[in-house]
Structure 1
């Protein structure tokens, strides 16, 4: 496959090579973001999750059993 189909940033040949590299790794990743757009999306999502977790941390931790 040469080029792309009109604007999609991902190269399927490079994606396949990245998948094979991950599968052959000593520690295969549970998730593998393919492409800069995927990395950017996941980074923004994880930042959002971390911010929400931090905001509600006291409430979340407050549900533990009281220690004596």
Structure 2
């Protein structure tokens, strides 16, 4: 398992909840999106739209944290 900083973990947890995916799928989607947006990977049209209209509430918490 990959361990990240607390704020990154929080972001991944929010992404997992919003997209209804497990951690492995969330990390796969996040990495593919980053690679595509930075020119390292050609994304499909669906993948390039990932998260475009998504705004995460900075005050949101998980599990009362």
- TM-score exceeds 0.5: no
TM-score, normalised via structure 1 length: 0.30
TM-score, normalised via structure 2 length: 0.31
Larger Cα Rg: Structure 1 or Structure 2?
1
Higher relative contact order (CA 8 A, sep 6+): 2
